[in-house]
């Protein structure tokens, strides 16, 4: 992604949050800028399919995958997650924006100066806690361990806390197996306005991506609820997959490569991602190859069994399974 | 105590407090102590209260310190031996008692002779220098390679695949992994410290070196990786903690179990791809042409240097072919 596009995205998101926040009554506003502590709940409808039921297998549309990243994804079998050694392996810190959950942020202050030394972003279910160091400490050396939460340092730029995360373990970039390598780094912007906060993340992996992948997630500050800052314990159990087995598909043998075409008429070349598929111009190219299915079988914009057009407060859209899909834009 | 005295004491306390332990700086200092940069590309990590890892001396060297003395895992290369001794002296006045070699490669054993001379054996026999411990395969290799006898293991084990010790208040298991990277690989597990020295079974810089000349094999390599995974324990059930067994490869960063799982998966996937192509009757040239390391080449592969992607593929192919011909 080009720097200009990155600047545009940050500007648009910051503006969007500002517009939303401007409508709030003055008494609900919290002094702007430098306090992100609190319990923050996400908007469930935002990127609903990716974050709640989970995306279709091999739906990598809009991911700037390199050829290497695509190959790793194509060999992935979901059975791998059932091995003893993977069951309690948490997702890496980018799961903060990829996953469905809220976050609780607390401040660590210097007892003498009162300055914020660090922000602690609490864990949730399947994501480790992260500490955002604000005291200017350097990042560890290349030989230091990569941790589940990564090593994150931050700086305020106006009302936006911008952080840089390194020392991250290999892990998912979308919730269907496609992943980034242990060379991944994150640039994250925590943009707060009143009781709204947008977390805008740029995921950069020189191995499995050709450009940074930008993804944002919006949160609302909870006034009366406090989220936990640790996830529940994880108990490992036998799930039918032997330890030390590595489930994977050999090249050309992944049976799911045509799934997105069968279900939604999306051509394989678009389903397998690539930087080109991130940009609006790609729709023109895709138009000729897109075959609109007669019926939308699932993930049509609402919860199964929910009211037509989606569920209250949820996504707009095509209604229950079997409803005609929305016309292509 | 008068109010004036209380105010005075509070003021003194505050001044001292600010000067000595401002919260953030204290945390930063702790982190710096955990990893000291020593210069010349060397670093010292304090992994546990009595366990350190010295990097940049050819290989990552494990250092366990206690009342019994110093136990080293690998000696590093010959060029760094004096420096390693100097760094150990800075770290502790205790004597070096053991050097455990995880294999017989030059970057693991090159410092054996000098460092052993700087130490003293716990066993009152032989030359009295620090004991060098390794499987007999390492002794054989060093003697054949023309190393001076002072570099050879003085305590070689053959009788079992495991040599046990209890030093510095903890059990130490030296686990021979036959036919992995070479025929003389060992894992060294410090039970109380919960640190596993993995040798060249894992090389985070590249695909694992399968040294066929010294009886390494791809299936032995995968068996060794699986053994590491079996031994290492992550932070469960309390997954929110950054804890668990520390796995130290000879090259590259310190690891936890899941990092080894990722590496094992990569090696296994590549092995399976090559095995599948061989089953189809493909030749080595055809296997190479099919790019069986796809997906992992950019992270672990190289077209130059002492261990290229091409060499790795060839080693896996030949290793599998040798096993097939043995079975026939």
User: Which residues, 6 or more positions from A8, have their beta carbon under 8 angstroms from its beta carbon?
Assistant: none
Q: Please check the confidence at residue A250 and state whether its pLDDT lies above 60.
A: yes
Nearest 5°: phi and psi at A27?
A: -70, -20
Write down the pLDDT at residue A46.
86
The band of A207, judged by pLDDT with boundaries at 50, 70 and 90, is: very high
CA distance A144 to B194: 17
A256: closest CA among A160, A157, A177?
A177
- For residue A145, give the chain B residue with the closest CA: B254
CA distance A232 to A234: 6
- Cβ distance of B261 and A86 shorter than 8 Å: yes
Q: What is the pLDDT of residues B251-261, one digit of tens each?
A: 999 999 999 99
CA distance B75 to B109: 6
Q: Are A209 and A66 in contact, with CB atoms under 8 Å apart?
A: yes
Q: Closest partner residue to B22 among A113, A141, A233, by Cβ?
A: A113
What superfamily in CATH does domain B3-258 come from? Ribonuclease Z/Hydroxyacylglutathione hydrolase-like (3.60.15.10)
- Cβ distance of B262 and A169 shorter than 8 Å: yes
- CA-angle at B238, arms to B235 and B242, nearest 5°: 45
Considering only residues 169 to 208 of chain A, which have any Cβ-Cβ distance to chain B shorter than 8 Å? Answer: 169-170, 181-183, 206-207
- Cβ distance of B256 and A145 shorter than 8 Å: yes
Q: How close is the nearest chain A Cα to the Cα of B65, in Å?
A: 21
Q: Are strands A185-193 and B195-203 parallel, antiparallel or unpaired?
A: unpaired
Q: Out of A105-119, A150-164, A297-311, B276-290, which region has the weakest mean confidence (pLDDT)? A: A297-311
Considering only residues 116 to 155 of chain A, which have any Cβ-Cβ distance to chain B shorter than 8 Å? Answer: 117-118, 123, 128-129, 134-135, 137, 140-149
Q: What does the pLDDT average to over A228-247?
A: 86
Probe site for chain B from A170, A231, A248 (most B CB atoms < 10 A): A170
CA distance B191 to A172: 32
Helices (H), chain B: 3-20, 23-34, 81-91, 106-109, 112-117, 136-144, 218-231, 257-279, 284-289, 297-300, 309-327
Q: Closest partner residue to A235 among B237, B255, B276, by Cβ?
A: B237
- For residue A73, give the chain B residue with the closest CA: B295
Which class for A230: exposed (0-12), middle (13-18), buried (19 or more C-beta within 10 A)?
A: middle
Other beta carbons within 10 angstroms of residue B82's beta carbon come to 13
Q: How close is the nearest chain B Cα to the Cα of A73, in Å?
A: 8
Q: What is the pLDDT of residues B33-43, one digit of tens each?
A: 488 899 899 99
Q: What is the pLDDT of residues B265-308, one digit of tens each?
A: 999 999 999 999 999 999 999 999 999 999 999 999 999 999 99
A107: closest CA among A36, A155, A29, A193?
A36
CB contacts of A170 in chain B (<8 Å) are 259, 262
Q: What is the pLDDT of residues A143-194, one digit of tens each?
A: 999 999 999 999 998 889 999 999 999 999 998 989 999 999 999 999 998 9
- Cβ distance of A143 and B238 shorter than 8 Å: no
CB contacts of A135 in chain B (<8 Å) are 24-25, 27-28
- Cβ distance of A88 and B239 shorter than 8 Å: yes
Q: How close is the nearest chain B Cα to the Cα of A248, in Å?
A: 7
- Cβ distance of A68 and B295 shorter than 8 Å: yes
Q: Closest partner residue to B272 among A72, A111, A250, by Cβ?
A: A250
Q: Please check the confidence at residue A318 and state whether its pLDDT lies above 50.
A: no
CA distance B29 to A301: 52
SS3 state of residue B97 = strand
- Cβ distance of A244 and B259 shorter than 8 Å: no
Decide if A233 touches B, using CB distance below 8 A.
Answer: yes
One digit per residue, the tens of pLDDT, for chain B of length 328 reads 455 554 554 444 333 333 333 333 333 333 434 888 998 999 999 999 999 999 999 999 999 999 999 999 999 999 999 999 999 999 999 999 999 999 999 999 999 999 999 999 998 777 889 999 999 999 999 999 999 999 999 999 886 778 999 999 999 999 999 899 999 999 999 999 999 999 999 999 999 999 999 999 999 999 999 999 999 999 999 988 889 999 999 999 999 999 999 999 999 999 999 999 999 999 999 999 999 999 999 999 999 999 999 999 999 999 999 999 888 7
Count Cα neighbours of B72 within 13 Å in the Cβ-side half-sphere. 36
- For residue A171, give the chain B residue with the closest CA: B262
Considering only residues 25 to 54 of chain A, which have any Cβ-Cβ distance to chain B shorter than 8 Å? Answer: none
Q: Which of A20-29, A127-136, B95-104 has the highest mean pLDDT?
A: B95-104
Q: What does the pLDDT average to over A228-255?
A: 89
Q: Out of A20-24, A228-232, B38-42, which region has the weakest mean confidence (pLDDT)? A: A20-24
Considering only residues 100 to 119 of chain A, which have any Cβ-Cβ distance to chain B shorter than 8 Å? Answer: 108-113, 115, 117-118
Nearest 5°: phi and psi at B222?
A: -65, -40
The band of A228, judged by pLDDT with boundaries at 50, 70 and 90, is: confident
**Cα Rg for chain A, rounded, in angstroms?**
21
CA distance B153 to B138: 7
Considering only residues 289 to 328 of chain A, which have any Cβ-Cβ distance to chain B shorter than 8 Å? Answer: none
Helices (H), chain A: 3-22, 48-51, 67-75, 95-98, 259-264, 268-271, 282-287
User: Which residues, 6 or more positions from B162, have their beta carbon under 8 angstroms from its beta carbon?
Assistant: B173, B174, B175, B176
Other beta carbons within 10 angstroms of residue A77's beta carbon come to 16
Q: Are A187 and A203 in contact, with CB atoms under 8 Å apart?
A: no
Q: Are strands B185-190 and B35-39 parallel, antiparallel or unpaired?
A: unpaired
Q: Closest partner residue to A117 among B27, B262, B273, by Cβ?
A: B27
Strands (E) in chain A, as ranges, are 38-42, 103-109, 116-121, 130-133, 151-157, 160-166, 171-172, 179-180, 185-193, 196-204, 213-221
- CA-angle at A121, arms to A11 and B256, nearest 5°: 115
Q: Please check the confidence at residue A26 and state whether its pLDDT lies above 80.
A: no
Decide if A97 touches B, using CB distance below 8 A.
Answer: no
- Cβ distance of A128 and B240 shorter than 8 Å: yes
A299: closest CA among A326, A279, A271?
A326
- Domain borders along chain B are 3-258
CB contacts of A90 in chain B (<8 Å) are 239
Q: How close is the nearest chain B Cα to the Cα of A145, in Å?
A: 5
Question: Predicted ipTM?
Answer: 0.87
SS3 state of residue A58 = coil
Question: Strand pairing partners for B62?
Answer: B53, B73
User: Which residues, 6 or more positions from B304, have their beta carbon under 8 angstroms from its beta carbon?
Assistant: none
- For residue B16, give the chain A residue with the closest CA: A112
């Amino acid at each position: 992604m080009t720097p200009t596009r990155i600047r545009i995205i940050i500007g648009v998101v910051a503006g969007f949050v500002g517009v939303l926040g401007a409508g709030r009554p003055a008494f609900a506003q919290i002094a702007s800028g430098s306090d992100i502590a609190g319990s923050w709940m996400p908007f469930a409808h935002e990127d609903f399919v990716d974050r709640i039921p989970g995306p279709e297998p091999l739906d990598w549309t809009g991911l700037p995958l390199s050829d290497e990243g695509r190959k790793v994804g194509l060999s992935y079998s979901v059975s791998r997650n059932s091995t003893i050694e993977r069951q309690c392996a948490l997702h890496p810190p980018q799961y903060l924006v990829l996953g469905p959950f809220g976050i609780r942020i607390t401040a660590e202050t210097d007892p003498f100066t009162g300055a914020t030394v660090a922000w602690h972003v609490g864990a949730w279910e399947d994501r480790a806690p992260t500490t955002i160091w604000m005291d200017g400490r350097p990042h560890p050396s290349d030989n230091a361990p990569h941790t589940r939460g990564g090593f994150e340092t931050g700086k305020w730029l106006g009302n936006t806390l911008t952080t840089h995360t390194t020392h991250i373990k290999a892990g998912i970039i979308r919730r269907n197996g496609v992943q980034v390598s242990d060379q991944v780094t994150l640039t994250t912007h925590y943009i707060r306005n009143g009781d709204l906060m947008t977390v805008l993340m740029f995921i950069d992996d020189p191995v499995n991506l050709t450009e940074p992948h930008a993804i944002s997630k919006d949160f609302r500050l909870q006034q009366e609820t406090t989220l936990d800052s640790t996830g529940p314990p994880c108990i490992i159990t036998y799930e039918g997959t032997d330890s030390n087995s590595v489930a994977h598909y050999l090249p050309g043998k992944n049976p799911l490569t045509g799934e997105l075409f069968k279900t939604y008429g999306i051509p394989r070349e678009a389903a397998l991602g690539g930087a080109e598929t991130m940009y609006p111009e790609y729709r023109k190219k895709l138009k000729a190859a897109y075959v609109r299915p007669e019926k939308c079988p699932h993930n049509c914009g609402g919860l199964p069994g929910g009211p037509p057009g989606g569920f209250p407060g949820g996504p707009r859209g095509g209604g229950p399974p079997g409803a005609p899909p929305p016309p292509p834009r | 105590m008068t109010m004036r005295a209380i105010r005075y004491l509070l003021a003194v306390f505050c001044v001292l407090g600010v000067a000595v332990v401002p919260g953030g700086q204290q945390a930063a200092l702790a982190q710096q102590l955990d990893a000291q940069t020593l210069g010349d590309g060397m670093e010292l990590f304090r992994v546990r209260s009595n366990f350190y890892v010295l990097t940049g001396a050819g290989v990552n060297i494990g250092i366990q310190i206690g009342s019994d003395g110093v136990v080293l895992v690998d000696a590093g290369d010959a060029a760094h031996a004096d420096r390693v001794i100097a760094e150990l002296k800075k770290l502790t006045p205790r004597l070096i008692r053991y050097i455990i070699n995880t294999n017989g490669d030059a970057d693991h054993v090159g410092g054996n002779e000098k460092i052993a001379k700087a130490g003293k054996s716990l066993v009152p026999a032989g030359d009295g220098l620090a004991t060098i411990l390794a499987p007999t395969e390492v002794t054989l290799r060093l003697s054949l390679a023309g190393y001076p006898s002072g570099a050879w293991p003085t305590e070689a084990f053959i009788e079992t695949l495991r040599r046990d010790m209890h030093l510095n208040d903890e059990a130490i298991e030296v686990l021979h992994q036959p036919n992995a990277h070479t025929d003389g690989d060992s894992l060294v597990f410090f039970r109380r410290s919960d640190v596993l020295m993995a040798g060249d079974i894992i090389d985070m810089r590249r695909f694992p070196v399968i040294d066929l000349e010294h009886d390494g094999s791809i299936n032995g390599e995968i068996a060794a990786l699986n053994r590491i995974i079996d031994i290492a324990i992550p932070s469960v059930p309390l997954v929110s903690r950054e804890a668990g067994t520390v796995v130290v490869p000879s090259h590259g960063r310190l690891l936890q179990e899941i990092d080894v799982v990722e590496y094992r998966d990569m090696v296994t996937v590549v092995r399976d791809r090559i095995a599948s192509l061989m089953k189809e009757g493909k030749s080595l040239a055809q296997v190479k042409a099919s790019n069986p390391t796809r997906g992992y080449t950019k992270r672990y592969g190289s077209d130059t240097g002492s261990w290229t992607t091409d060499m790795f593929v060839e080693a896996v192919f030949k290793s599998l072919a040798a096993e097939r011909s043995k079975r026939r």
